[in-house]
């Protein structure tokens, strides 16, 4: 029989109907959920997964009395099949503009935002609550808002009409399904709800509606990464509403005490700024981990993973390692390289080389593309323009080289690249943080408290991906020092290099100076 820690036993042997588990990075949430299912072999559970990759992994790990599904997979089986022929990942602004016959991009963008707000809410009807980003005081404002709401309703109806050619998104059929009656108790005695700190309000409302089922909610307050997309952390509200037991698991089995110290100091800063409760992270004493303020020589000779705040920085790192075998978390195709190449050819007026012919339908020229990007503030379009400006005419050859050297088997890679968001749930021996994470100590910026919390969460997720060796970014060092961290935990370059003659040394004199920034005093 497997041995569980005291923290883990509280969940594995839980006998009630409602439970919230606050599980820190690497604390073994899969272990406890699997253990709970094994302790209740005569019951059938639905493990609600965050995405399809987790669903695949969980299906192989959990016992036979657990069915692993994403909310979208369940919804597709019930209401989505008749709409599958017109399914798209996202509605394009051009599609919306043409369908509602809008004369300007401003109206189109507001309709798109309002629709998104509705799709990511627990509300069952389109209403003025979906336009909380717009003023609604004057008669002209109210008139415009009524127009926007009617346009949203029109798009919603068209998307769910199988005979209407207007496309439907995954979030649209999910919303339609979740507004239906509670029926899961007919098949399951309980629901294991994972990643609740980043729950889609639609999914969360649907789960809580299944009140004839047991509920085991698991999440980490500090790994909430998608608040900007409408995701919400329902753990505290659920616990307060139901009065249920709350278990805490701060002990990590992934990394040692040094990485845990870094993670704790980051969360201490978050607690200081946002006034949230402290969450000390405890490392695995059996793991002798190392943290660095510089890139150690070992990282240049063995596989490492580089994590970034932005896609642009991810591409920059890939280009810096253009001759190496690179593994892209989420696959290279998801980083927009083909779209970047198409816009490059649009800019060069080489339209015969554009693969996405829809781009040519929407934009006769690069000037049109730029104009739409500026008017709508579309992040993907603006990012594409920045990359074109930075790399210019070398774009095709660089993309070709990156595609040629991309590997799908990570064991064959020299370098793994990813954004912090995509790294969630993963782990590697050697992790390096790029320096594109924002400087949260920049006094010239008026930081919103919630934004600081979001950015600390990203840093926390990033540093806790490392199992053995972690190279941190400058902002992590500064935050660590600000919260009273002991910089002696950092491996110095002298220690890393070893004695003269060590083959990993890259100096000629046998001594490397420890980085000054570790010894600098905060003013």
CA 123-233-61 angle, to 5 degrees, is 105
97 & 158 share domain? yes
Residue 505: its pLDDT value, please? 39
Helix (H, G, I), strand (E, B) or coil at 389: helix
The pair of three-digit structure tokens given for residue 156, joined into one six-digit string: 């919603």
In a domain, 171, yes or no: no
Task: Say if residue 516 is in the same domain as residue 422.
Answer: yes
Is residue 83 in some structural domain? no
- Is residue 319 included in any domain, yes or no? no
267-280 residue pLDDT tens: 999 999 999 999 99
- Segment 339-387, tens digit of pLDDT: 999 999 999 999 999 999 889 988 999 999 999 999 988 888 898 999 9
- For 74, the token pair is 């369940």
| CATH number for the domain that contains residue 242 | 3.40.50.300
Domain ends where: 249, 271, 298? 249
Number of compact structural domains in the chain: 4
Quick check: is 327 in a domain?
no
Nearest Cα to 127, choosing from 156, 103, 100?
Answer: 156
| pTM for the predicted model, two decimal places | 0.88
| Same-domain pairing of 418 and 523 | yes
- Which residues, 6+ apart, have CB-to-CB distance to 376 below 8 Å? 93, 105, 108, 109
Domain that holds residue 376: 332-407
Other beta carbons less than 10 A from residue 464's beta carbon? 28
- C-alpha span between 272 and 449 (Å, rounded): 10
What pLDDT digit, counting tens, does each position of 302-312 carry?
999 999 999 98
367 and 498 both lie in a single domain: no
Q: What pLDDT sits at residue 504?
A: 43
Residues 371 and 348 in one domain: yes
Answer whether residue 404 shows pLDDT above 50: yes
Domain membership of residue 1 (yes or no) is no
For the beta carbon of residue 489, count every other beta carbon within 10 angstroms.
Answer: 15
Per-residue CA distances from 197 to 6, 116, 272, 416 (Å) = 23, 20, 20, 27
215 and 347 fall within a common domain: no
Query: Is the pLDDT assigned to residue 508 strictly greater than 50?
Result: no
Concatenate the DSSP letters of all residues of 290-331 into one string: EEESS--HHHHHS-EEEEESSHHHHHHHHHHTTTS-EEETT-
In this structure, is residue 295 part of a structural domain? yes
> Are 244 and 351 members of one domain?
no
pLDDT recorded at residue 518 = 54
Domain presence at residue 488: yes
Domain end marker among 146, 166, 186? 166
Are residue 192 and residue 71 in the same domain, yes or no?
A: yes
Q: Clarify whether residues 185 and 244 are in a common domain.
A: yes
Instruction: Decide if pLDDT at 499 tops 90.
Output: no
| Residue 270 sits in the same domain as residue 243 | no
The CB-side HSE value for 346 (13 A sphere, CA atoms) comes to: 26
Q: Do 276 and 234 sit in the same domain of this protein?
A: no
Position 374 in a domain: yes
Q: How far apart are CA 281 and CA 440, in angstroms?
A: 21
């Amino acid at each position: 029989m497997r041995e569980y820690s005291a923290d883990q036993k509280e969940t594995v042997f839980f006998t009630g109907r409602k439970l919230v588990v606050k599980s820190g990075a690497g604390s073994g949430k899969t272990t406890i959920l699997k253990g709970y299912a094994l302790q209740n072999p005569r019951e059938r559970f639905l493990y609600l997964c965050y995405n399809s990759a987790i669903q695949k992994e969980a299906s192989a790990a959990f016992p036979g009395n657990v069915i692993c599904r994403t909310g979208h997979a369940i919804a597709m089986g019930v209401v989505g099949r008749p709409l599958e022929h017109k399914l798209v990942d996202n509605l394009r602004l051009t599609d919306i503009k043409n369908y509602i016959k809008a004369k300007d991009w401003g109206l189109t963008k507001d309709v798109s935002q309002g629709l998104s707000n509705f799709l990511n809410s627990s509300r069952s009807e389109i209403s003025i609550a979906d336009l909380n980003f717009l003023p609604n005081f004057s008669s002209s404002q109210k008139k415009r808002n009524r127009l926007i709401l009617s346009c949203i309703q029109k798009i919603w109806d068209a998307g769910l009409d199988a005979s209407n050619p207007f496309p439907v998104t995954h979030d649209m059929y999910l919303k339609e399904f979740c507004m239906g009656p509670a029926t899961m108790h007919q098949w399951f005695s309980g629901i294991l709800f994972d990643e609740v700190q980043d729950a889609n309000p639609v999914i969360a409302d649907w789960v809580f509606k299944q009140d004839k089922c047991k509920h085991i909610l698991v999440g980490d307050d500090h790994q909430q990464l998608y608040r900007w997309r409408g995701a919400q952390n329902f753990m505290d509200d659920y616990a307060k509403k139901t009065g249920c037991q709350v278990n805490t698991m701060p002990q990590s089995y992934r990394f040692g005490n040094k990485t845990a110290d870094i993670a704790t100091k980051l969360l201490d800063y978050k607690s200081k700024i946002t006034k949230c409760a402290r969450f000390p992270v405890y490392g695995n004493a059996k793991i002798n981990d190392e943290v660095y303020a510089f890139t150690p020589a070992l990282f240049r000779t063995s596989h490492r993973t580089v994590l970034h705040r932005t896609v642009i920085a991810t591409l920059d790192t890939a280009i810096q390692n253009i001759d190496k075998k690179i593994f892209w978390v989420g696959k290279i195709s998801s980083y927009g390289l083909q779209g970047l190449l198409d816009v490059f050819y649009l800019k060069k007026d080489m339209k015969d080389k554009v693969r996405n012919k829809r781009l040519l339908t929407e934009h006769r020229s690069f000037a049109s593309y730029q104009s739409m990007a500026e008017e709508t503030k579309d992040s993907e379009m603006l990012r594409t323009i920045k990359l074109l400006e930075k790399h210019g005419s070398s774009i095709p050859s660089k993309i070709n080289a990156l595609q040629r050297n991309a590997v799908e088997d990570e064991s064959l890679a020299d370098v793994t690249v990813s954004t912090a968001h995509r790294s969630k749930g993963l782990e590697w021996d050697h992790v390096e943080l790029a320096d594109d994470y924002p400087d949260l100590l920049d006094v010239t910026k008026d930081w919103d408290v919630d934004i600081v919390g979001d950015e600390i969460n990203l840093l926390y997720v990033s540093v806790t991906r490392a199992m053995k060796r972690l190279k941190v970014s400058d902002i992590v060092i500064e935050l660590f020092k600000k919260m009273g961290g002991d910089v002696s935990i950092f491996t110095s370059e002298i220690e890393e290099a070893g004695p003269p003659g060590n083959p990993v040394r890259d100096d000629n004199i046998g001594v490397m100076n420890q980085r000054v920034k570790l010894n600098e005093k905060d003013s």
